[in-house]
Structure 1
Amino acid sequence: MVTNQNEEAWNQHNYEALLNRHGDPAVVAEKIKQNPNWRLYPFNKYFDNLSGKKVIHLMGSNGIKGVALSLLGAQVTIVDFSKENQAYAKEIASAVELPLEYVVSDILSIPIEEHRGQYDYVLMELGVLHYFIDLFPLVKIVSSLLRPNGKFILHEFHPVSTKLITSSGKKHKVTGNYFDPAISKREVAFSKHMPQEKREDTEEVLQRKWTLGELITTVGQSEMLIEVLEEEPNHKIHDIGLPKTFTLVARKI
């Protein structure tokens, strides 16, 4: 039920929202070409030389990160269940004249035997973990995709900022329960880029927000060795001192 509802939400009006937010795919492609590394900040430092390396971007969305990786020499596969994301990503890749494999699928339903042990890197980033009500199946798939010594790079919003604190200017309030495991309903992320009348008829998504402890425990019990957990600060002047994002790097044993 959770996956079906979220998939339906991400296949309504998403292409239009991408145009409203990012613009014409050909124009976006030119911007990416100017500085592909910048599109991968701050986790780009955890990639080695990408020339010829195979990267799979799980929940790779609109293809902007995937195209940046391609421009840096990687062979890129994106997995995402939004056909509208796929259409936008393919147009960007076409504009830079680079191949981009795009698998339209829920992560837990990908044909794993076709991809097992094929990748040097598995990438996930920004606003993805909360779509899983159980992290163990996800981490098992990530580990299965990696070659020996391959890296899992996860760049995600810090749970202090998503589960606990609400900021308004100089004021910060503890408005959430960090340890709350509840599944909640939210507007789909791209809805803020839609006209109000279309926001009202777009399905909501179901989310389960995770603590750092839950994530680290799950990855630590897999066939991967955690090498890095970097907590990154919020750079807004009133939010300096609060964590905004984190990057986790784990290597396949």
Structure 2
Amino acid sequence: MTIHNEEAWNQHNYEALLNRHGDPAVVAEKVKQNPSWRLHPFYKYFSHLSGKKVMHVMGSNGIKGVALSLLGAQVTIVDFSKENQAFAREVASAAKVSLDYIVSDILSLHIEEHKEKYDYVLMELGVLHYFIDLFPLAEIISNLLRKDGKFILHEFHPISTKLITSSGKKHKVTGNYFDPALFKREVAFSKHMPQEINEGTEEVLQRKWTLGELITTIGQSGMLIEVLEEEPNHKIHDIGLPKTFTLVARKI
């Protein structure tokens, strides 16, 4: 599954990033104007970032990594897309900050080189569904953190990804919240690419998780869950439905 998804994320992704975000130098200037805004709504769970070591797992295009660097953190990104790395390095260079960008699947990371080095491990938005087993991931995250270091996870709420579909004011329960099946879908950046290119692009495999599965895994991995904040959907017709959540766990 990992090999399949890695192939998909190394096709045309750099071009899609340019289509979505624009020139890296322009992106850098925008991030520099208000770096903390790029980390909303979980920025409040970081404290005194200056000099702190942060690993952004599956850190994608590096925009949030650059924001963290501008706020004084020493940032390492782990992501298996070389095209993400290329874009991230250009944004970081234009912003005049440094990023350590490791092209690797997080499960293949040489953990001994990073063990207990980080004050924070960050994961955010559309990442958990790339794992068919959360326990190895949680074990790695726990090993990366120093004692009292924090894992900050900001993700799409499973109510919105597994259960409910919305169209205007209409909401329908169309999914099975407890379905553990793998499924195929277009790679996330495909919406920023021409249709003729997407037709030849590999799909990704995903497995969607319930909150119970996630919390159980984190709770059994040497981390203490301190926060589970469920965040509402801000679209006017979807107010009252959870859109995202932020989980904060401290290594004990």
Partner of 1:91: 90
Which residue identity lines up with residue 27 of structure 1 in the other structure?
V
2:220 corresponds to 1:221 = yes
Superposition CA RMSD, Å: 0.3
Corresponding residue SS for 1:60: coil
Residue number in structure 2 paired with 1:4: 3
* Runs of 4+ in structure 1 over 2 Å off: none
What is the TM-score of this pair, normalised by structure 1? Answer: 0.99
Q: What secondary structure sits across from 1:9 in the alignment?
A: helix
2:203 aligned partner: 204
CA distance in 1: counterparts of 2:167 and 2:98, whole angstroms: 43
Cα separation, 2, equivalents of 1:125 and 1:192: 19
Report the residue type matching 2:147 in the other structure: P
The answer as to 2:78 corresponding to 1:79 is: yes
Counterpart CA distance in 2 for 1:162 and 1:98 is 35
CA deviations 1:103-124 (Å, max 9, x no partner) are 0000100010000000000000
| Aligned equivalents of 1:141, 1:82: Cα separation in 2 | 20
Residue of structure 1 in register with 2:190 after alignment: 191
Q: What is the rounded CA distance, in whole Å, between the counterparts of 1:117 and 1:137 in structure 2?
A: 16
Q: Corresponding residue for 1:25?
A: 24
Find the counterpart in structure 2 of residue 231 from structure 1.
230
Corresponding position of 2:59: 60
**Match for 1:233: what amino acid?**
P
Listed as ranges, the gaps of 5+ residues in structure 2 are none
Aligned residue pairs total 252
Query: CA separation in 1, counterparts of 2:232 and 2:48?
Result: 27
- Identity, in percent, stands at 85
Match in the other structure for 2:251: 252
Report deviation, 1:248: 0.1
Equivalent position of 2:35 in the other structure: 36
Gaps of 5+ in 1: none
Q: Which secondary structure does the structure 1 equivalent of 2:234 belong to?
A: coil
**Which amino acid in 1 is paired with 2:202?**
E
CA distance in 1 between counterparts of 2:14 and 2:98 reads 21
Map 1:119-158 to 2 at 5 A: 119-158=118-157
Q: TM-score, normalised by structure 2?
A: 1.00
Residues 1:49 and 2:48 are matched in the alignment: yes
